[in-house]
A and B are shown apart, each in its own frame.
Chain A
Amino acid sequence: MDWQSFLAMGGYAAFVWPSYALVLIVLIANAVIPHRRERALRERIARRATGNR
């Protein structure tokens, strides 16, 4: 595959690549945020549960 012409996207690089980049950023963010939220939540509940004993 010719990298230069692939990256150039037939002159439409300025439209194709930002589209794909933005989609990937938003999809990754939407997967990472609940993952962190769950971990924090789980630790908070666990701390409260063991502290009460």
Chain B
Amino acid sequence: MNLVWFHKLGSPKYFHALALRLTPWLGALSFALLATGLYWGLVIAPPDYQQGESYRIIFVHVPSAWMSMFTWMFMAVCGLLVLVWRMKVAASLMRAAAPLGASFTFLALVTGSLWGKPMWGAYWVWDARLTSELILLFLYLGFIALQSAIEQREAAGRAGAVLALVGVINIPIIHYSVEWWNTLHQGATVTKFDSPSMPVEMLLPLLVSAAGFMTYFATVVLKRARCDILEAEAASGWVREWATRTATEPRNP
């Protein structure tokens, strides 16, 4: 099997150049998808026959919640690469993803509670879905605190990788919580083995918005990982060469 591409991706210099080329395109794609999906969801999609207009929160709530779980799984895969191959780029990607994961989890919780108040009559209930998602937020915050607590880069990367791999147990718990326990939260309507039980006029904007969130994640995670690499490799020749070539000119040379 040809693994040259894998070795290339492991090189901080190559990864930096690739990320630099990809981010503008991914960013533009993400902006277009988000604008389309949210406009479609807010303006074009029909109101729900039971929930009226309040259901429109779904177009931001569900993508946030999906991304909150996807981001942790992404970090766990990076963690595996860190522990098995000591891949520096994977450690940078893992660190870069954590604040995004925390943001998505925070958004899923807050938009969920803003949806819960008019539909359930309460902003918050201590049921399995909501509690396990709150634990996910604490896992992200714990990961971020751990990274800033350990000075030495490689040790921080390895400790974070272990946390990411252990914490991944929470992901199936969140996903199946609505089946395993009695809960106010509705079951899955899209991510199940049957065909989605959602009219297509609502499903399409949801999927477009979710694609927008996914490309947004890709854009920002590449950008943040690139910053992390620049910090780690600040002393190497290619970083200094690139920084001097692209830094904005001083006003009084």
Contact = CB atoms under 8 A, between A and B. Distances in A.
Interface residues of B, number: 43
Interface of B: 27, 34, 38, 42-43, 47, 52-54, 56-57, 60-61, 64, 99-100, 103, 106-107, 110-111, 114-115, 117-118, 216, 219-220, 223-224, 226-227, 230-231, 234, 239-241, 243-244, 246-248
Contacts of A47: 247
Can you list the 6 inter-chain pairs with the closest CB atoms, starting with the nearest?
Answer: A10-B53, A46-B247, A45-B243, A49-B240, A12-B54, A46-B243
Given A23-B111, A45-B247, 15 more contacts: A10-B52, A15-B115, A16-B54, A16-B56, A20-B60, A26-B106, A31-B220, A34-B223, A38-B230, A41-B227, A41-B243, A42-B247, A45-B230, A45-B234, A49-B243
A49 B244 contact: yes
A25 to B, nearest CB: 10
Contact of A1 (B43, B226, B230, B243): B43
6 contacts: A19-B114, A22-B111, A23-B111, A38-B226, A46-B240, A46-B243
Contact of B230 (A20, A31, A41, A49): A41
Given A10-B47, A16-B57, A19-B57, A45 B240 contact: yes
Q: Is the interface of A mostly helix, strand, loop or mixed?
A: helix
Contacts of B223: 31, 34-35, 38
Contact of B38 (A15, A20, A26, A30): A20
A23 B108 CA distance: 9
B118 A12 contact: yes
Contacts of B216: 27, 31
Contacts of A31: 27, 216, 219-220, 223
B215 to A, nearest CB: 12
A1 to B, nearest CB: 7
Contacts of B106: 26
B96 to A, nearest CB: 8
Given A11-B52, A23-B107, A30-B103, A43 B247 contact: yes
Contacts of B56: 9, 16
A43 B230 CA distance: 11
B140 to A, nearest CB: 13
Contacts of A23: 60, 64, 107, 111
Contacts of A43: 243, 247-248
Contacts of A37: 227
A30 B216 CA distance: 10
